[in-house]
Structure 1
Amino acid sequence: MSIRRTEDEPEVMLFFPPLVESSFGSLYPSTAVLAAWLRQHGFASVQRDLNSEFAEYLLTEENLARLAAGGVPGVARESLIAGCARWAARERDRLTDANGARLLGRTTEVGYVVEELAHPFLMDPDAAALAALTTRRRATHPLDFHRAFLEWADCERAVPDSVQLVGISVPMGPQLVPALLLAQTLKTARPDVRIVLGGPALSLMDLPALDGLLATHRAVDAAVRFDGEFPLLELARQVRAGEWLPGRVPGVSALVDGAVQHVRPGAGPALGSLPTPDYPAADVAKLAVRKLSVTQARGCYWGKCDYCDFVELYDGSPPFRGRRPEAVVADIEELTARYGIREFSFITESIPPAFARRVSRLIIDRGLDITWDSFAMVDRRFDRELLELMVQAGCRYLVIGMETMTTRVLELVHKSANRAENRRFLREARAAGMRLSVNLIPDLPSTTYQEALDSLADVEALADCLHTVSVFPFEPTRSSNIGRAPDRFGLIPVTDISAQSQAQYSLNHMSSVDPAMTVEERADVYARFRAFARRVNRRDGRGSAAPVASTLPELSPDASFRLITEDLDLVDRDGEMVCTHIIGKERIVIPRAAAVLLHPYLDGRGFSVGSLVERIGDTATRALLGNLLDAGMVRAV
């Protein structure tokens, strides 16, 4: 029996659950894309971004106090996380801009603080975490924290009476357990509502694992794999008609007659048919960095990197579907008119050079006053002329998965560029004025210790071409080519999966050993690469690094400094002082003797060089001030 509703009553509710700390301060586009698609086909929907609400929950007085005191499992009182909590409790106003918007996200000076606060509550959806959902014991960290959050967010009453179908978007592995917990909460409150999970975390899950999930977690009525538009629309039509036949819908997995049934996916929508995303206006208004995402492509135009599994996300469709530049520009113009937004990210695995050229010319020809950024890969077609055109069209930066400078390894994993091409690209980007945010993986399969050091020397020589650097450890996934044939890449699979993975998605992690480096060599390589990244990321806008102790000028006894206490967390540890520069992300430990000297100045008053020299001598004074200056913890008065 179908139910008649007014046009304004939503029939579908779309949730984006915690926890994706990298999306704090921004709006992930998945629910906005689905909401626009449903509206295009006659279904009103409502969205709720629980991930953003989770960030607010972290900043409640009670939670900051617990974290600051080391009252959360795994958080020591002198840790960076506890320091961030103390600073956030003390400097709450600095986490909000003049318009009242919360300063979250990596593009704000203090945004990383809340990301740090979130780390103790990240959940890798391994077998133990999934099993904990089915037990009655509530005091299980961090599951108990997520339960408390859902109560704080009043999720039991979240679904309007008119809604009969709930979609939960799960792009990232750490969202899976919170999504299942959310499904339990919603189903308990509204047993009549059908609940569907979808997104990359479900698409990359192997079928036996998905069987177990659907058989065990009965609050979930179905899971959508790969493109979600057509399956969600068909399920919405069924619910409107008073039916529930998920076994007839391509791309849907569900429990049917006591057994899990997987229907092969069909082709996803032509990207040209996608309407402009429906971002909730109230959520856009809360953004401190007013930036939205538009779809450029699904899949990757290169699609050959053996360690990448994002090319696996669109089964049933071509491995790469790109949108026409005119459609992307039309979205930009519509979003600008609708929300007043002038900053955009292109959703793509890697922007194709031909598209970049055409969209840049369109932006320039139409006189659009916007800025944008995109993922890109090193490609010989990105020459200086094209990069200059992109900068002219408002491209603020490109994120580059360069990974390494070792040609042998790049060829082994089928990257598109070698060492020489990487070097050319970096130099031409610098000449074009293009800012680059470069990702490095020091230990791609079979990389030796010496190859890693040589690769680091190469990028260090070109440091002035880099705006920011991120360093990631290599982790093979089961759904990638490397995961399917690890021996081809020098990896030895192992059964021990006790090591915590960076990806925090054990269900798709392939545990292995790479004998090309020892454990000690690998640790040394990571330390060297991360130290290099810190040096690059600390530079000021002119590309100059902070002064180091060895280059300190002669200090006049009358010179005065003060501790920048408004930026610091200072905590006593058995007489030592653990100093954390919250803004600069630097930490130093001041020995007891020096800590005693600095105690009178913890209120921010100035002290002279001469007063320190009198008490500890010139050499010790230079060392102490040098370390404090290196870490940005003191300022000349």
Structure 2
Amino acid sequence: MSSSGLVQIDGLSPIKKEDRKTSKVMLLFPPEWVPTAPYLALPSLTAVLREAGHTVVQRDINIEMYDHFFTMEFLIWVKARLGMQLKPLQDKEKAGTLTDRETDQKAVIEQAYAVDVFDLAERAEDAKLVVRGERFYEAETLELALNTFREAMQYISAAYYPASLVFYPMESNLGYRPGVSKEVFACLDDEQVNVYRDICNQLVLPSVSKEKPDVVGISIGTQMQLLAGMTFCKMIKETFPHIKVVVGGNVITRLQEELPHHERFFTDVFDAAILYEGEHALLWYIEALNGQRALESVPNLMYRHADGVKQSKEVYTEKTAALPLPDFDGLPLDHYFVPERIIPYLATRGCYWGRCTFCDHGQGYFDQYRGMTAQHVIEQVTALRDKYQCKHFLFSDESYPPALFKKVSQLLVEQNTGIKWTTLIRFEETLQDQAVWDLAAKAGCCTLYYGMESANERVLNLMDKHAKKSVIQNNLHQASKAGIWNHVMAFYGFPGETKDEALETRQFVIDNQPVIHSVELFYFVAYRHTPMVRNPEKFGITIHKQEEYDLPLDYYYTLNEPSTLSCLDAMQMCEEFYKNDFQPWAVRVNSREHVFLYISKFGTNKLPQIYAKQQVAVGAAEGVSGLVTWPVSQSEGEDGMSRVTSHDVG
């Protein structure tokens, strides 16, 4: 039993095949997420539901949205929306009643309205052909295509003023804070800024009307997806009140303490929420709706009852080796913004290290780390390769265990699987043999993403990472020598870190730049479910909870010992790094998956063509305008739990 009073169970008895009642289920994945590969949540849920005999329609609205945005049809529609907004503003200007905000809005709309929309649309549609075809591998052409996407997003933003819709995804801003419930509810009905209302009207509601599902499930993995996901829920529930709407995903699990205090979510937005892992919980919820189980017996479930919002006291943990192969059938695998299919795959759940004091990834799982055997991994990857004619894989594990890393590499080579792959990994003493890295590269490992966090060993020990600086350096040099692309993540401002210790991290990155092919430097964030926030006095911090932030995923904090680096200091140092030091790492391509494919194509981690031209030395560069910095670290669980953080991999 956990401290919250929840009890883990082994599961419910399956319904006999001859007694099953089947339903039609529509599963939706909302914006914003990267448009380069499917997200694993829907295929994992789909596989279990289809195995039980249910009909499943799965829709990746994220990629459908971007595909829709960059069309002649939608951009002309935006032009008409701009014109409808401009006329009343011009009338108010003539009447002398224009407010300052409306003056700014009018200027933005007039600038956008002057754009040649036919030219923009033609370039945007060609840009999609670039990212999906052989021209993708011409770095300058790809850069132009990505800049066209950014230009189109700026044009679209003008019609939703003052919203900022951007490409790279996951950085848009509607002006509402997802951590404040009253702003979330206000955003859902805001037809001016909430672009997802139009996406729902144009892409989602027609599909729901056509398919006529009994249940709609929406996976909300990141805080960035919260507004879009909740918008879809509310509009579906309003338009089709007879359809049951259920939500799940990592963010829903993290908000499980707050949701019961906002019954409006369960009356106006959705009918039920699934916490933790969702495959069998969703199946059993559907069976309960069909009268084959008692609703209160379904684990991992939160739902509205006559007495208020109720949560099951039982939690079901999936048996990873017993789950069916993820089912991607029905997803638009050739519509992602890449020239080769990329499939995500997960061999483990949870983190084998699981000790980092700043990390809250474990909140998405009720149980400890679980994994499959290396042979099972190879069998499933091979099956996915053959079924979907795909040779590129994202191993989306929290942090790939060293023993599995070695064994999987060995089996991939022995069985001549012929795939290319990338994953997240820890710096480990057990990985200091050059032969390990050479074997991984021979097995198709192209890029690796490391949570270094700091290059100072005292700070690493405070974090409970216990990595040695010499090991970090050896791993980087050996992986680079093998031809693997190294992406390093670090952050400033861990409580107790001094400025000199933070500068040590900066200097380490600069000194090792030849073997660090890309870098991501952030500042410490006090995520609410971390060991640090649960025991702030132990780490010398004071947590400040703000009443209006009633859906918090992180907290503002101050240091009890002012001689160490403050949050504001860390933010400033981070800004200075990107202004003064980052240019040698500035790449012209858009995402990790794009770099992954470049290395797969050219067979080397030496890719000068994807970097911006360096005009000054390291440590003295000006900021690089218009170039892409790396997004925050991304991994996802097979249960559909997204891990989007600023700085960690175990």
Do the two structures share a fold, i.e. TM-score over 0.5? yes
Q: In structure 2, do the counterparts of structure 1 residues 520 and 359 end up closer, same or farther at CA, with 3 Å as the change threshold?
A: closer
What residue is the counterpart of 2:452 in the other structure?
A: 402
Shift of 1:347: 1.9
Distance 2:263 2:430 in 1: 45
What residue is the counterpart of 1:306 in the other structure?
A: 357
Corresponding residue to 1:131 among 167, 185, 202: 185
Q: In structure 2, do the counterparts of structure 1 residues 465 and 209 end up closer, same or farther at CA, with 3 Å as the change threshold?
A: same
One-letter amino acid of the structure 1 residue matched with residue 607 of structure 2: G
CA contact (8 A) 2:498 2:565 kept: yes
What residue is the counterpart of 1:177 in the other structure?
A: 227
| Worse-superposed segment, 96-105 or 250-259 | 96-105
What residue is the counterpart of 1:296 in the other structure?
A: 347
What residue is the counterpart of 1:456 in the other structure?
A: 506
What residue is the counterpart of 1:418 in the other structure?
A: 468
Question: CA-to-partner distance for each residue in 1:96-127, whole Å, 9 max, x for gaps?
Answer: 2269679999x964458455375444564222
How many corresponding residue pairs? Answer: 539
Shift of 1:357: 1.1
Shift of 1:85: 12
Distance 2:136 2:178 in 1: 25
Q: Secondary structure at the match of 1:348?
A: coil
Distance 1:455 1:85 in 2: 47
Matches within 5 A, 1:554-569: none
Q: Secondary structure at the match of 1:441?
A: strand
Is structure 2 residue 9 aligned with structure 1 residue 15?
A: no
Matches within 5 A, 1:38-77: 38-59=49-70, 60-62=74-76
Shift of 1:92: 2.0
Corresponding residue to 1:475 among 525, 532, 541: 525
One-letter amino acid of the structure 1 residue matched with residue 384 of structure 2: L
Distance 2:418 2:482 in 1: 20
CA contact (8 A) 1:468 1:533 kept: no
Larger Rg: 1
Distance 1:208 1:220 in 2: 15
Distance 1:337 1:476 in 2: 43
CA contact (8 A) 1:235 1:246 kept: yes
Shift of 1:212: 1.4
Q: In structure 2, do the counterparts of structure 1 residues 83 and 330 end up closer, same or farther at CA, with 3 Å as the change threshold?
A: farther
Matches within 5 A, 1:374-453: 374-383=423-432, 384-453=434-503
Q: In structure 2, do the counterparts of structure 1 residues 100 and 522 end up closer, same or farther at CA, with 3 Å as the change threshold?
A: closer
What residue is the counterpart of 1:343 in the other structure?
A: 392
Shift of 1:151: 1.2
CA contact (8 A) 1:68 1:77 kept: no
Shift of 1:267: 3.1
CA contact (8 A) 1:104 1:111 kept: no
Shift of 1:206: 4.2
What residue is the counterpart of 2:295 in the other structure?
A: 246
Q: Secondary structure at the match of 1:207?
A: coil
Q: Secondary structure at the match of 1:361?
A: helix
Q: Secondary structure at the match of 1:375?
A: strand
CA contact (8 A) 1:312 1:479 kept: yes
Q: In structure 2, do the counterparts of structure 1 residues 498 and 260 end up closer, same or farther at CA, with 3 Å as the change threshold?
A: closer
Question: CA-to-partner distance for each residue in 1:394-432, whole Å, 9 max, x for gaps?
Answer: 000111111111212111111141323222222222233
CA contact (8 A) 1:96 1:103 kept: no
Corresponding residue to 2:555 among 489, 496, 510: 510
Shift of 1:460: 0.7
One-letter amino acid of the structure 2 residue matched with residue 528 of structure 1: E
For structure 2, list consecutive stretches of 5 or more residues without a partner in the other structure: 1-14, 87-100, 151-165, 589-605, 631-650
CA contact (8 A) 1:247 1:256 kept: no
CA contact (8 A) 1:168 1:198 kept: yes
| Worse-superposed segment, 483-492 or 271-280 | 483-492
Shift of 1:250: 1.0
Shift of 1:191: 1.6
Supply the RMSD in Å over aligned alpha carbons. Answer: 4.0
Is structure 2 residue 251 aligned with structure 1 residue 237?
A: no
Q: Secondary structure at the match of 1:158?
A: helix
For structure 1, list consecutive stretches of 5 or more residues without a partner in the other structure: 500-504, 552-578, 587-637
Q: In structure 2, do the counterparts of structure 1 residues 104 and 358 end up closer, same or farther at CA, with 3 Å as the change threshold?
A: same
CA contact (8 A) 2:378 2:411 kept: yes
Shift of 1:470: 1.4
Distance 2:463 2:123 in 1: 47
CA contact (8 A) 1:129 1:177 kept: no
What residue is the counterpart of 2:575 in the other structure?
A: 527
Distance 2:114 2:431 in 1: 43
TM-score (norm 1): 0.75
TM-score (norm 2): 0.74
